[in-house]
Amino acid sequence: MATVSPNVKASILQLANCYLLLSMCSTAVLRSTTEESVAKRFLFALLLGDAGHVYLTYTAVGADYFFTPSQWNLLTHGNITFTIFLFLSRSIYLLGWGGSAGSQKPIKTKKSN
């Protein structure tokens, strides 16, 4: 297994911390609003961040490496594959392909006596 330099390790840990912060902000915003427009604007901002993340990774590693996934290590897969998955998930929701909130049936609750 390759040795990771302290600078690379610090960058990886800082990136993980950014993802943790982002997940906490996402949870706070999306669980505290019932306004679909707020959720869509928030997800659109995250979508732009995903696109920027993939683009900056592309510029950092170069086209030859970027378009040869068989050469990627786990960190590269995490940076590219997972971010593209998030980008596609957010795109599907924002395009309305996942169904709208109005098309879902309400959750049944028990009636109190």
- Encode pLDDT of 10-63 as tens digits: 888 888 898 899 889 989 988 898 888 888 999 999 999 999 999 999 999 999
How far lies 74's CA from each of 27, 31, 54, in Å? 26, 32, 15
In a domain, 102, yes or no: no
Residue carrying the six token digits 């928030």: 42
Residue 84 inside a domain? The answer is yes
Within a 13 Å sphere around the CA of 64, how many CA atoms are in the beta-carbon half? 0
Query: Has residue 81 been placed in a domain?
Result: yes
Asked if residue 22 belongs to a domain, the reply is no
Instruction: Determine the structural domain holding residue 81 and report its residue range.
Output: 34-96
Look-up of token digits 């679909």: 36
Residue 99, pLDDT above cutoff 80: no
Q: Does any domain span residue 64?
A: yes
Q: Is residue 85 part of a domain?
A: yes
Q: Please tell me the total count of domains within the chain.
A: 1
Cα 73 to its chain centre, rounded Å, is 19
Residue 6, in any domain of the structure: no
Residue 4 located in a structural domain: no
pLDDT of residue 4: 76
Residues 6 or more apart from 46 whose CB is under 8 A from it? 22, 26, 86, 90
